[in-house]
Structures are given as C-alpha cells and as structure tokens.
C-alpha cells in the first residue's frame, strides 16, 4: 500500500451512477470502479475504520460486521485495518450453523438476514459496514441481530447515505458515519 492515493474525494468520485438498475426508477450506485483502484480502496477502508478507533488510534470495537454482499468486500479489509475479526451477516439459508434471524420489510415483500449465534459474544461492541445506507432496513435488522447476541453496535459506517431516505431515523441513536451524502 505504497502508491499515492487519489484522496478520499477522488476515491468517492469513482462511484458510478447507473440509472434504472436493477429496475426503472432506481439510481444504482456502482462501487466497482472504486474497488478496482487500489489507492481509492485504501482511502475508503481507512476512512470507514476511523469511527472505530479511539483517540490513541487503537480499535474500540471487538468485531466488524459486513452485510451481504458489498458489506463483505468493504468490511473484511476494515476489520484487517483495525486488527479485529470480521463477521458476515447473510441472507436467509446461507449460514451453515445455528443462527439468529431477523426479517424486515422491503418495498415489495420481506427479507431475512441471519448471523451465526456464536459469532458475536455477549458484551462485545461491533462496527457495521456496508456500501449504501438507503431506507435503513438492512442496517436496522443487523442492529437487532447484534442485540440478540447480547452485544452492542458502536456505529454504522457506510460509503454513502441516500439523504432523501430515512435511513438514519430507522437506526435511532446508533451513530452513522457516511463518507458521502447524496
Ligand atoms: P436499505 O436496507 O434500504 O438501507 O438498503 C441498503 C442495501 O441495499 C445496501 O446493502 C446496498 O448495497 C443496497 N442499496 C440500496 N439502495 C442502493 C442504491 N441506490 N445503489 C446501490 N445499492 C443500493
């Protein structure tokens, strides 16, 4: 990780807007150009890890949780940068051992997320990482899963928040760090 980076603003400028994907009316935020640029990826990983560091730079969380699937891509390097473990939050039926499950409303229908019961221990503090905070349904369900484990959420860190949607409200008093609001 020695090459000069593009700076955080330059990194975020690599996110591409794709109109009408995956369906008409949705402006999809495509992070793959950012992921493909080492310097940009390095910048955003450090920035997403920052809210989980104390004043001395040491981690103040025990785990990083990433939500399927772009939260895996961003969350695992954030965990490595912090020096803590990574835990995947997966869609229903993907995790092989005993899970907690939480269902939440989508615009049409319902989705379920799962977490291995033993992946977060009682009393631990975790950072949630994802690419986009939209309605907040995914993050809210993940907060509920963490609390089912007897642990607590230190904060949610996302690349981007869709400011015209009530994602933060869904999260109540859980702190949200976003690198960009659109
Ligand atoms: P939500 O549960 O509504 O906050 O949606 C968050 C999840 O949906 C994240 O995991 C995102 O990856 C994805 N998502 C929602 N809206 C968009 C968008 N406009 N572009 C890309 N991904 C999105």
Which H, E and C letters describe 112-133, residue by residue? EEEEECCCCCCCCEEEEEEEEE
Inside any domain, residue 40 = no
What span, in angstroms and rounded, lies between the C-alpha atoms of 163 and 103?
A: 24
Give pLDDT tens digits along the chain (182 positions).
445 567 999 999 999 999 999 999 999 999 999 999 999 999 999 999 999 999 999 999 999 999 999 999 999 999 999 999 999 999 999 999 999 999 999 877 899 999 999 999 999 999 999 999 999 999 999 999 999 999 999 999 999 999 999 999 999 999 999 999 99
Q: What per-residue confidence (pLDDT) applies to 148? A: 98
pTM given for the model: 0.96
* Residue to substitute in 138, 159, 160 for testing ligand 1 pocket (most ligand atoms within 8 angstroms of CB): 138
Q: What per-residue confidence (pLDDT) applies to 6? A: 77
* Residue to substitute in 91, 129, 134, 160 for testing ligand 1 pocket (most ligand atoms within 8 angstroms of CB): 134
Inside any domain, residue 75 = yes
Tell me the CA–centroid distance for residue 175 and ligand 1, in Å.
18
**Is 107 a catalytic site residue?**
yes
Residue 55 CB coordination number (10 Å): 6
Inside any domain, residue 176 = yes
Q: What per-residue confidence (pLDDT) applies to 30? A: 98
What span, in angstroms and rounded, lies between the C-alpha atoms of 172 and 157?
A: 15
What separation, in Å, do the N-terminal and C-terminal C-alpha atoms of the chain show? 29
Q: What per-residue confidence (pLDDT) applies to 3? A: 55
CA-based max dimension of the chain: 47
Inside any domain, residue 4 = no
Q: Do the beta carbons of residue 62 and residue 126 sit within 8 Å?
A: yes
Q: What per-residue confidence (pLDDT) applies to 4? A: 55
Q: What is the CATH number of the domain that holds 154?
A: 3.40.50.2020
- Between helix 70-82 and helix 38-49 the angle, nearest 10°, is 70
Ligand 1 nearest-atom number relative to CA 170: 4
Inside any domain, residue 7 = no
Query: Residues near 137 by Cβ (< 8 Å), separated by ≥ 6?
Result: 104, 105, 106, 111, 170
Ligand 1 nearest-atom number relative to CA 67: 10
Number of structural domains (the chain) is: 1
Please say whether the dihedral angle defined by the alpha carbons of residues 147, 95, 48 and 14, taken in this order, is positive or negative.
negative
Domain limits for position 108: 55-181
Q: What per-residue confidence (pLDDT) applies to 173? A: 97
The residue from 3, 23, 98, 107 that is catalytic is 107
Tell me the CA–centroid distance for residue 134 and ligand 1, in Å.
5
Tell me the CA–centroid distance for residue 160 and ligand 1, in Å.
10
For residue 8, give Cα distances in angstroms to 73, 118, 164, 175. 18, 35, 23, 21
Inside any domain, residue 162 = yes
Inside any domain, residue 18 = no
The residue from 70, 90, 125, 140 that is catalytic is 70
Give the strand order in the sheet containing 63-67: 99-105, 110-116, 85-91, 63-67, 125-133, 152-161, 176-181
Ligand 1 nearest-atom number relative to CA 132: 11
Closest CA relative to residue 17, chosen from 6, 28, 8: 28
Q: What per-residue confidence (pLDDT) applies to 131? A: 98
Q: Do the beta carbons of residue 62 and residue 82 sit within 8 Å?
A: no
Q: What per-residue confidence (pLDDT) applies to 109? A: 87
Inside any domain, residue 105 = yes
Q: What per-residue confidence (pLDDT) applies to 63? A: 98
């Amino acid at each position: 990780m020695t090459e000069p980076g593009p700076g955080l603003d330059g990194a975020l400028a690599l996110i591409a807007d794709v109109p009408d994907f995956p369906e008409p009316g949705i402006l999809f935020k495509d992070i793959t150009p950012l992921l493909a640029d080492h310097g940009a990826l390095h910048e955003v990983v450090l920035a997403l890890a920052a809210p989980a560091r104390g004043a001395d730079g040491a981690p103040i969380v025990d785990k990083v949780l990433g939500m399927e699937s772009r939260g895996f891509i961003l969350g695992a390097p954030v965990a490595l940068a912090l020096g803590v473990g990574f835990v995947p939050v997966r869609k229903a039926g993907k995790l092989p051992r005993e899970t907690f499950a939480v269902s939440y409303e989508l615009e049409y229908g319902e989705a379920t997320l799962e977490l291995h019961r033993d992946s977060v221990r009682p009393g631990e503090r975790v950072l949630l990482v994802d690419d986009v905070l939209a309605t907040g349904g995914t993050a809210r369900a993940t907060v509920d899963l963490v609390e089912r484990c007897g642990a607590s959420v230190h904060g949610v860190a996302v690349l981007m928040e869709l400011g015209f949607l009530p994602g933060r409200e869904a999260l109540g008093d859980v702190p949200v760090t976003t690198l960009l609001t659109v």
